[in-house]
Amino acid sequence: MSKLYIDIGSTYFKVSQKGNIEQYFRNFDKNILDDLNSKCSTIVNQYSKEDIHICSSANGGLSTLIVGLTNSFSLKYAINIAFNSGINIIDTVLYSKLESEPVPLEVIDVVIVVGGIDSVEKVFDEKLLNYLEKVNYQNITYVGSAKNRDFLIQNLENIVVLENIISDKLQIQEEALKHYLTDLYQSDIVGKEDIKQLYEITSNQIYSTPYIVNRSLPKINERLDVANPFIVVDIGGATTDIHYSRDLVNDNILTENGYDRLVFKKLGVYKSRESLVHTAKNNEFVFELLEYLNVTENILEEESTKATKTLMQLAIFLVLYKVSKHHGQYVELNLDILNSIVLTGGITKVLTQEEVEDIVLFFYKKILQFHHAPTTLLDSNYEIWTYGI
C-alpha cells in the first residue's frame, strides 16, 4: 500500500500520493482538519492511519534560549542542532556575560544550558540559577559537562539532562538534543487544537516541516538535477530558511547528516514584509539592484504582483548576501564553489526560472565578481519535503 504525505503550511497545504502532488490554499475560516476534509476527503479516506504521514510549519514552532560557555563550541553547536531540529526562534547568552545581559521578556518554550566537556567541573554556579529565576520558561534541558549534572538536578526543578553535545574530543554530538527538541516540537503542536485533530487521520508522529526538509537533503541529487555542493532556499511568508551542504562551510562542526539549516526569521514576504524592506533599504547594493530590475524604490511600498515579485527577488539577493563572505554572520558559505541553488516554498509560485536566474547572476557578478552563476532549479511542484518524510 502506498503512503499519503501531507504538509501543512502557513498559506497552502500539499497532499502527495504515488508521486503526484496537489496543493490547496488554506481556508482560514476553517480548522485544518475540516479544511483538509472539505478539499480532499476522498483521497484521505483511501488510506489507513498508519499510511498517512504529516508535517507542519503552520504553528510557529518553539522559542529557544541557549545559555552557553563559549561562542566557538557550546553556543555554536547548540544553535546548529536547534536549527536542524526545525526551531526558528533562537536567542543566545554567553555565560560569562550573563549578569549584564537583559532577561527575555516573552515566555521561552525551552532553555538549553550547555558548556564544557564531560571531565570539566564547576562550569555553572549560582549565577546561572539567579538568571534563570528571572526567565519565564516552560522547559529546560542540560546538555553540558557530566560533572555539573548533579548541581543542576538539585537546583532546577524539571530539568531534563541529556548527553553532552560536546564530545571529549570537542566534536559535536547532536542526536540526544535533536531528538529531545523534535519530540518537544511534537508535544507543542499536539497541544494546539488545530494539529491535535490531525491525529484523527494519522497514527504517525507529526514533524516540523524544516526538520523534514533537512532530512530530505541527502536524497535531493538522486531525484533532481542538481550538483553538489548545493543550497536549498525556502522563502516563505514569515521566514526564509537556507539549507546548505557542509562542504560549503569551513568550521569545526562535523555532523553525520552533512547538511545544516539557517533561518532568517525576519526575511519573509508577507508576515515579515516590513523587516525585509528595512533590510533591503539598508543594503548598499539594493538601489543598483532595483535599477537593474527597472523599478524604483517606490515599488517597495506598493501592493501589487510586480511588488511581490520584486520583494521575492530582493529576498534571494539578501539571503545570498547574508551568507556570503561580505557579511560576517553566524554562517559564511563559500559561494565561490556552489554548483546549484534550489528554490522552494512560496517563491516558486511567484517567480519564473528566468527571473530567479537574473537575480542570482546579478549577485554573482556584482558581489563576487564572477562571470557565471550556479545553476538554479525551482521546486515548483514543492516535492522536496516528500523525500524526507
Single out the segment in contact with another protein by CB under 8 A; choices: 10-18, 118-126, 327-335, 361-369. Answer: 118-126
Residues 214-253 that bind another protein (CB under 8 A): 250, 252
**With binding defined as CB under 8 A, does residue 73 bind another protein?**
yes
Q: Minimal distance in Å, beta carbon 341 to another protein?
A: 27
- Size of the residue set binding another protein (CB under 8 A): 18
Give the one residue of 69, 132, 220, 341 binding another protein; rule: CB under 8 A.
69
CA distance linking residue 346 with residue 209, whole number of Å: 14
Is residue 65 within 8 Å of residue 107, measured between CB atoms? no
Single out the segment in contact with another protein by CB under 8 A; choices: 3-11, 117-125, 268-276, 339-347. Answer: 117-125
Residue 173 or 239 having the CB closest to another protein: 173
Q: Is the peptide bond before 104 cis (omega within 30 degrees of 0)?
A: no
Residue position matching grid coordinates 533599504: 281
Dihedral sign computed on CA atoms, order 273, 275, 278, 283: negative
Single out the segment in contact with another protein by CB under 8 A; choices: 110-118, 128-136, 231-239, 318-326. Answer: 110-118
Single out the segment in contact with another protein by CB under 8 A; choices: 1-9, 18-26, 65-73, 239-247. Answer: 65-73
Q: Minimal distance in Å, beta carbon 115 to another protein?
A: 7
Q: Minimal distance in Å, beta carbon 206 to another protein?
A: 36
Give the one residue of 38, 46, 71, 329 binding another protein; rule: CB under 8 A.
71
User: In what side-by-side order are the strands of the sheet with 20-25?
Assistant: 20-25, 12-17, 4-8, 52-56, 207-208
List beta partners, residue 364: none
Residue 117 or 295 having the CB closest to another protein: 117
Give the one residue of 61, 86, 115, 345 binding another protein; rule: CB under 8 A.
115
**With binding defined as CB under 8 A, does residue 320 bind another protein?**
no
Q: Minimal distance in Å, beta carbon 320 to another protein?
A: 24
**With binding defined as CB under 8 A, does residue 120 bind another protein?**
yes
Q: Residue 221: which of 343, 340, 373 has the closest Cα?
A: 340
Residue 145 or 386 having the CB closest to another protein: 145
Give the one residue of 119, 154, 282, 298 binding another protein; rule: CB under 8 A.
119
Q: Minimal distance in Å, beta carbon 336 to another protein?
A: 16
**With binding defined as CB under 8 A, does residue 352 bind another protein?**
no
Is residue 79 within 8 Å of residue 255, measured between CB atoms? no
Residue 166 or 377 having the CB closest to another protein: 166
Q: Minimal distance in Å, beta carbon 69 to another protein?
A: 6
Q: Minimal distance in Å, beta carbon 140 to another protein?
A: 21
Residue 75 or 351 having the CB closest to another protein: 75
Residues 141-180 that bind another protein (CB under 8 A): 166, 169-170
CA distance linking residue 132 with residue 146, whole number of Å: 20
Single out the segment in contact with another protein by CB under 8 A; choices: 66-74, 105-113, 276-284, 380-388. Answer: 66-74
Q: Minimal distance in Å, beta carbon 161 to another protein?
A: 18
List beta partners, residue 388: none
**With binding defined as CB under 8 A, does residue 254 bind another protein?**
no
Single out the segment in contact with another protein by CB under 8 A; choices: 56-64, 111-119, 315-323, 346-354. Answer: 111-119
Task: List contacts with another protein (CB under 8 A).
Answer: 69-74, 96, 115-117, 119-121, 166, 169-170, 250, 252
